[in-house]
Amino acid sequence: MAPGHMIPMIDIAKLLARRGVIATIITTPHNALPQQATIHRAAASGLPIRLLQLGHDNLLRQPRLEESLAATVPKPNCLISDVFHAWTCDVATKLDIPRIVFHGTCCFSLLCLTNLYDSDIVDSIESDEERFLVPNLPHAIEICRSKLPALVKKGHRDEIHEAERSAYGVLVNGFEELEPQYAELYCEARRGKAWCVGAVSLVNKEESDIVERGNKASIDKNKCLEWLDSREPNSVVYVCLGSLCRLNAKQLMEIGMALEASEHPFVWVFSGEKYKELENWLDREGFEERNKERGLVIRGWAPQVMILSHRSVGGFLTHCGWNSTLEAVCEGVPMLTWPMYAEQFLNEKVIVEVLKVGYSLGVGGEEKIDQVVVKKAEIERGVRRLMDKGSEECEEMRRRVEEIGEMGRRAMEEGGSSHFNLSLFIQDIVDQMSKKNTL
């Protein structure tokens, strides 16, 4: 139900529909609303995409889903389910179709979580801040318990993990060239099938689909582009900490002061409705008027892919959500990392230690998210380091991320690894259905 999961699943539906597969997107009316324009545009273009709205708010009910799918014509050949809907195991079993899991993260993070579940190392750690090595990885990756997803910190196999293990396969929003060792090891560790079919955001070619990916933008597209066009190449730092940002207003004020002090042009995105205290501070300080020549503030939903793809954007302060991470990589934009919860601390390890396409601000674990954990001076220092064009280290990082981004674009083209893997996935499901029909 979260935007970070639903947006790439809609992109996957588009990818499947482009291959002639009938794709039915199932969600609640509440969650369908921001996505309807995108889905209707895809259907109007001739793609076989359908929208099935069930339940209300954020609640899907199993009996209603079973009834609806049983009555669907043609009958579904498989069910692609978000990882958090473990109960869809029973739905797929009753329909006698394969269940495919979508996590919304990378093979590195999936392998880390799998290895941690399969070992007792988390239970053996005495302190939440004690650093330990994640077992059985190609790289020496250290982490502490406070930076692990809550489900892992429980220290036992849970319903969601068991449902993932029992699934026929997993779809991964990533490409094999991004993390070849981890893609192979994850398949071995889960002892089942997994297909890397991303970066799925690249399915969006039309301007309207790029601008409105996930929701209608809160800023006029032309105004945003006009502002970006007026900046030098690689001079703008883009700051967006996710649609579910958990930072408090005082921490965001520190970010605002740091952006101003950094002397770099910036685009700063945050939820206007959520932060009344921040709004009062902005007005009281005259922040926007004082920075109108150098800063663009967006309240609400930003056209992120459009912004990241612009030549003027040279760095991204990110919460390390996998969608944002992959979008930055594919557009060749290095990152400054500020993870907050779930697997974002693991994604940070990919960015900083595996791919080496970003720097870490060194924030604490999820339990400290309601505190001011990073001061203005530290943020300013991080932004200056990220945007330092004279630094050989920075330029090397930029070259690296641009090369990886080019690999990602090639992976999605015909003949590329992700294009091929999607073909393998479709053929696998067709073969499964053929076997059942001949029995």
Taking the alpha carbons at both ends of the chain, their separation in whole angstroms is: 37
CATH topology of domain 216-408: Rossmann fold (3.40.50)
Which pairs count as long-range contacts for 42-45, CB under 8 Å and 24+ apart, including other chains? 42/13, 42/14, 42/17, 42/209
Beta strands in 39-173 (DSSP E): 49-53, 79-82, 99-102, 131-133, 142-144, 169-172
Distance of CA 199 to the CA centre of its chain: 10
Structure tokens at 268: 């700063």
Q: What is the pLDDT of residue 153?
A: 64
**Helical residues (DSSP H) of 322-391, grouped into ranges:** 322-330, 344-349, 376-386
Sketch the domain layout of the chain as residue ranges: 3-202+410-438, 216-408
Q: 3-202+410-438 with 216-408: one CATH topology?
A: yes
CB 179 within 8 A of CB 354: yes
- CA distances (Å), 406 to each of 178, 268, 403, 433, in order? 11, 27, 5, 36
CATH for the 3-202+410-438 domain, from 3.40.309.10, 3.40.50.2300, 3.40.50.2000, 3.40.50.1370: 3.40.50.2000
What residues in the chain have per-residue pLDDT under 50? 155-156
Q: What is the pLDDT of residue 130?
A: 94
SS3 226: helix
Q: What is the pLDDT of residues 292-350, one digit of tens each?
A: 999 999 999 999 999 999 999 999 999 999 999 999 999 999 999 999 999 999 999 99
